[in-house]
Amino acid sequence: MVQTDMYEGLLAETVTVEGANGDRINAYMARPLGAGPFPAMVLAHHMPGWDEWYREATFKFANHGYVTITPNLYFRAGHGTPEDVAAKVRGEGGIPDDQAVGDLSGAMHYLRSLPYVNGKVGIFGTCSGGRHAWLTACRSKGFDAVVDCWGGRLVMTPDQLTPKSPVSPLEYAKDLTCPILGVFGNDDSNPPPAQVDQHEAELKKYNKNYEFHRYDGAGHGFFYYHAAAYRQAQAVDGWKKVFAFLEKYLT
């Protein structure tokens, strides 16, 4: 808890990490100043890209005491404004799941190599980032907590599978080894409440440690204060749930 007479300092900068296939990609990183040890977070950015909201989210987690890194999952698409790069990726039908898992796992390994990290690493994502956070937490051992905020396309039927997304993410539920927090809006069309039910049922089936919060009056992306989707009361409560969950499992 912040006190008005305490010292605070953050360091934020762009770094380079090893991602999928050994590729070097850039990442935005922010951390509290000091020797630590601090818990750490990997953020999986959303479909609109490695954008201002995710840079500010990186600050936010660091301000709450987490060494935080947000890899640029669209690095291979070239460079320009975040919107232009994200539009290019949108036009290509997104990025391969395996590549996202490799990049986010690489960021986790980078955090684990740092002397001021306490050995606990979580992962957070919204929208496509929620889906990627789930996939990475299930498939890559080394995470101690995962936060999935309204990740869509977690439940895929066989006809929806593609070379980039060859397996329905829900099929990995049995492999999850860390606690999961899910944050969803009941007015969301992707994932719709029925798919959130399926997700929850699968976690129950495999006796996983999970905590889901579903908000009335909120749709997709209700944390995004720059968008029409923003829902103030639900977002404030959702962020409280996120940080309470992370404090429980990472500190």
- Which residues bind to other proteins, rule: CB under 8 A? 47-48, 77-81, 83-95, 127-128, 152-153, 162, 165, 189-190, 219-221, 227-229
Smallest gap from Cβ 85 to other proteins, in A, equals 5
Nearer residue to other proteins within complex by CB, 34 or 93: 93
Question: 81 or 251: whose CB is closer to other proteins?
Answer: 81
Please identify, using beta-carbon distances, which residue of 49 and 179 lies nearer to other proteins: 49
b/e string for 184-195 if b means 16 or more Cβ within 10 A? bbebbeebeeeb
The whole-angstrom separation of Cα 242 and Cα 251 is 13
Q: Which one, of 174, 238, 237, lies nearest residue 203 by Cα?
A: 174
Q: Using alpha carbons only, what angle is made at residue 103 by residues 150 and 54, rounded to the nearest 5 degrees?
A: 50
Q: In angstroms, what is the minimal distance from the CB of 151 to other proteins?
A: 9
Nearer residue to other proteins within complex by CB, 131 or 139:
131
Yes or no: say if 247 and 211 are a contact pair by the CB < 8 Å rule: no
CB of 72 to other proteins, least distance (A): 13
CB of residue 237 vs other proteins: minimum separation in angstroms? 21
CA atoms within 13 A on the CB side of 174: 2
Q: Both tokens of residue 138? A: 């299930």
Q: Which CB atom, from 37 or from 152, has the smaller least distance to other proteins? A: 152
CA 52 to chain centre: 15
Q: Compare residues 227 and 233 and give the one whose CB is closer to other proteins.
A: 227
Give burial (CB, 10 Å; 0-12/13-18/19+) of 158: exposed
Q: Of the two residues 2 and 228, which places its CB atom closer to other proteins in the complex? A: 228
User: How far apart are CB 103 and other proteins at their closest, in Å?
Assistant: 14
CB of 247 to other proteins, least distance (A): 29
246 vs 242: CA distance, rounded Å: 6
Q: How far is the CB of 136 from other proteins (least distance, A)?
A: 15
Who's near 115: CB < 8 A, 6+ residues apart? 36
